[in-house]
Amino acid sequence: MRWMDIPPLWLLGCVIVAWLQALWFPYGLGFGGTWADLLGGLLVGGGIVLTLLAIYEMRRHRTTVVPHKTPSHLVQSGIFSRSRNPIYLGDVLILAGLILRFDAVLSLPLIPVFTWILEKRFIVPEEDRMRREFRADWARYEKKTRRWV
């Protein structure tokens, strides 16, 4: 069942909740139409680009993108020179963008909840594994590169 505990499924779950909330419980609340659609599209697009850049960089270094596995290389180049977790950041941007696109105002709390889930279930355990595996290299990387942005 561990294969089911992956960030894209958590993202999908949050997206479905936001979509259902917008569909069944809008309560007349809205973000404001066109500007929300535009910003939502930019956030989704930015999240997808971040994710693709990170996957490209990890593939270039021939290391895993699977969250529960220890990478064979500590990737510090490309997008990883700006964020230690660009894929998770991309996931959060995608969720925020879709909440805007769906006009799901009441689903805004899903963003910090999803971020918390990512940190507790994935980021902290991954960083612990990398800290043990890469020791001094990880310590230097952790000091110079922020977790999110």
- Structure confidence by residue, pLDDT tens digits, 83-118: 999 999 999 999 999 999 999 999 999 999 999 999
pTM, 2 dp: 0.95
Q: Is residue 125 classed as helix, strand or coil in its secondary structure?
A: helix
User: What's at 68, amino acid-wise?
Assistant: H
pLDDT band at 6 (very low <50, low <70, confident <90, very high): very high
Owning domain of residue 28: 7-144
Q: Is residue 19 part of a domain?
A: yes
Give the burial class of 76: count Cβ atoms within 10 A of its Cβ; 0-12 exposed, 13-18 middle, 19 or more buried: middle
Looking at the domain assignment, is residue 96 inside a domain? yes
Q: Is residue 1 part of a domain?
A: no
Total domains, the chain:
1
Residue 149 covered by a domain: no
**Nearest residue to 35 (alpha-carbon basis) of 103, 109, 91, 95:** 103
